[in-house]
């Protein structure tokens, strides 16, 4: 179940890594 959490965190991090992109 940790895999799901890691995937969710990665998605959030990716959005934060590209601020002002949207």
Task: Name the token pair of 6.
Answer: 């890691």
Give residue 6's pLDDT.
Answer: 84
Each residue's pLDDT tens digit, 5-17: 888 989 988 888 8
Q: How confident is the model at residue 4 (pLDDT cuts 50, 70, 90)?
A: confident
Cα separation, 8 vs 10, in Å, equals 5
Q: Which of 17, 14, 11 is nearest to 3 (CA)?
A: 11
Give residue 21's pLDDT.
Answer: 61
Give residue 1's pLDDT.
Answer: 62
Residues 6+ apart with CB under 8 A from 15: 21
Give residue 20's pLDDT.
Answer: 67
**Of residues 1 and 9, which shows the higher confidence score?**
9
């Amino acid at each position: 179940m940790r895999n799901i959490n890691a995937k969710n965190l990665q998605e959030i991090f990716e959005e934060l890594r590209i601020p002002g992109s949207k």
